[in-house]
Structure 1
Amino acid sequence: MIEICNSSEDELSMFVIIISFTVPGMECIIGIIGNGFIMVINGAEWVQNKKFSPSGRILFFLSLSRIALQSCMMIENSAALIFPSFYKEDTVYEIFKVIFMFLTFCSLWFATWLSIFYFVKIANFNHPLFLRLKWKIAGLMPWLLWSSVIISFCYSILFSQQVYNTSCIHSIPKPFSNFTKKKHKINTNMINLAIIYNVGMFIPLILFMLAAVLLIISLKKHILQMESNTTGYRNPSMEAHIGAIKAISSFFILYIFNFIALLLYMSNIFDDNSFWTVFCKIIMAAYPSGHSVLLILGNPKLRNNWGRFQHQICSCCLSSRSWTLSGK
């Protein structure tokens, strides 16, 4: 008797397949376009000036990691839906998870360094340690970015050995044939998953929250100083503080939703064809896309370049339409 190992996705409904493809797919495409735009703008600045500004370097690394992350999400989602038996092979499944978590950790670290950079450049403190950091942050940034890549790789490798184990179970004889159908089962070590996942996520998150809290303290200190000097409230420093706090707060809200959805998805506690699995995929795809949109809207240089890019696209479309009509 021959055994065939199939996956529970054989019973996926067409509705689940369509939703799983279209909604996360569209979110990933939007994110790839947005992050691609950010990467091109900062890459062009690097080519033109022969060097990266610290913020441009962070945005370039961040957008590159987000493009790779969302491309990985699209490939993994397609493999899980179209080739479920291949996807849930032990080695293949672990490779997907290692790559996915490596890119996730990198993306979080780069976003954290971006927030810390904004904090250091905007905040006003007289502590010697802060002043030294303010002076050296530009030189430290390349080292911090590459260190984040190494740390992310080390944490992601643990997912290949300590968390998942796939096996074939539930032998089901197929009528009128000499085959036995078996289903894949993924056994998740929840303790190891919680430890590796939380340690990998919480360290950059703590740094991120520390920068946010200190930025708010700096803003409060700035307001009190202005009140004592009877100065108008709206000045460049105030605007910079408020803009940075808005950006950090928006990212934090997106991150919390992504953190929960990603943990639920990685734990495999829901059926593959359940509503909650699809919903987690939608949240996970929305997080890097939404943050790229916020970065473009919140950065004057990116926002102005995006406006010019839209204007050029509209002009090209109108010119093409006019040429087509005149040709007729």
Structure 2
Amino acid sequence: MSSVDVIALDCIILVEIFGGLLINGFITTIKILDWWECQKMKPLDKLFLGLGLSRFLTMCLYVFNIINRFFSLNVYQIKVLNWTLNTICLFLDFSSLWFSMWLSVLYYVKVAIFKSNILIRIKLRLSELVPYMILSSIFISLVSGFLFAYNFSSDLDIMIPYSNMDHNQSEEPYLEFAIPSYIFGHFIPFIIVSISTFFLIQTILVHMRHISSNASSLTPPRMNAHHAAIHSVMLLELMTVLNLVVSVLHRFDVSDTYNNASLFLFVIAYPVFHSLVLIAGNAKLRKAAMRFLCQVKECRK
């Protein structure tokens, strides 16, 4: 790549990182303020808080990594710091995917009408089950990140693929811990998100057909909200698929076939735009965002 292309990519990455800080910091702040005012949080709000906080801290790590490179601090050459930073980075990445997965599952459970007594009981006890969902997500993410980072001896820069390792080190130990780590961190959340997304869209379509069949010719049904929900869910699923593909290419491109900086650009884009779509699809966050934008316009005036 030419120097101009490298500078352009770096500028886009910087914009994405600070955009991610703003968007996910906004989600975290709104949910903390709601909790402060009401002294309690709904199940979805708890997951939104975990998602926003994990992604915000991930962006903070990227900022730290930029500072590390700019000032040549070489923190990754210190074994303890290298292991700690990459454990934290993997933990935050995996936990954000698990929180996103549980959000997808909860949206489906809230919309779906169940006939099974077991599923009905689960739906009624969501507020009790969410803390266990959060704890299980934290535990799985932490263990997956810890096992991989602890058993990998090369310097691990969180903004380059782990496959760009010391050539004196065999790829076998790398894959031995990287593949199980990403199975629990990426693949399982992806599979569950895809399944819940399929059933959620199916449930919305059934509801739309039910409304259309019961509507009279004088009052045609309004389907705008349903269409918007389907579009949002499909967009989220598309971004989840692309994120999985890009993450695999970024982490496991042992032969260096693809440009690392370009892949990393798409890696950062996922937590930025995914959170943006979640804000647009959540009534409370959307209203808070509109109030914030109005205040910004007033300040400009």
Does TM, normalized by the shorter one, top 0.5?
yes
Tell me the number of residue pairs that the alignment of Structure 1 and Structure 2 aligns. 287
Q: Map 1:82-161 onto structure 2 (within 5 A).
A: 82-83=71-72, 85-88=74-77, 90-161=79-150
Moved more, 34-43 or 121-130: 121-130
Report how far residue 116 of structure 1 moved.
1.1
1:25 aligns with 2:10: no
Contact 1:80/1:87 (8 A) holds in 2 = no
Corresponding position of 1:288? 271
Report how far residue 277 of structure 1 moved.
0.7
Structure 1 gaps, min length 5: 1-11, 168-183, 319-328
SS in 1 for 2:166: strand
Partner Cα distance (1:256, 1:80) in 2 = 31
Residue identity over aligned pairs, in percent, reads 27
Per-residue Cα deviation, 1:90-141 (whole angstroms, up to 9, x for no partner): 5444333222110011100111111111111112232223211211112211
Structure 1 residues 227 and 234: CA distance shift in structure 2, 3 A: closer
Corresponding position of 1:196? 181
Structure 2 gaps, min length 5: 157-164
Q: Map 1:165-314 onto structure 2 (within 5 A).
A: 165=154, 185=166, 187=169, 188=171, 189-230=174-215, 234=221, 242-267=227-252, 269=254, 276-314=259-297
Higher strand residue share: 1
Q: Which has the larger radius of gyration?
A: 1
Partner Cα distance (1:166, 1:65) in 2 = 23
Q: Map 1:8-19 onto structure 2 (within 5 A).
A: 15=4, 18-19=7-8
Structure 1 residues 58 and 244: CA distance shift in structure 2, 3 A: farther
Corresponding position of 1:6? none
Corresponding position of 1:176? none
Report how far residue 239 of structure 1 moved.
5.9
Corresponding position of 1:9? none
Partner Cα distance (2:294, 2:212) in 1 = 43
Corresponding position of 1:60? 49
Report how far residue 67 of structure 1 moved.
0.2
One-letter amino acid matched to 2:147: L
Structure 1 residues 20 and 269: CA distance shift in structure 2, 3 A: farther
Contact 2:17/2:268 (8 A) holds in 1 = yes
Corresponding position of 2:160? none
Contact 2:20/2:271 (8 A) holds in 1 = yes
Corresponding position of 1:38? 27
Report how far residue 258 of structure 1 moved.
2.1
Report how far residue 212 of structure 1 moved.
1.2
Per-residue Cα deviation, 1:47-75 (whole angstroms, up to 9, x for no partner): 11111122211111110111001111232
Query: CA RMSD of the aligned region, Å?
Result: 2.9
Partner Cα distance (1:36, 1:18) in 2 = 27
Report how far residue 202 of structure 1 moved.
1.7
SS in 2 for 1:23: helix
Contact 1:19/1:278 (8 A) holds in 2 = no
Partner Cα distance (2:74, 2:282) in 1 = 45
Partner Cα distance (1:161, 1:310) in 2 = 44
Report how far residue 76 of structure 1 moved.
2.6
Partner Cα distance (1:213, 1:269) in 2 = 33
Report how far residue 27 of structure 1 moved.
0.4
Partner Cα distance (2:79, 2:249) in 1 = 20
Partner Cα distance (1:202, 1:218) in 2 = 24
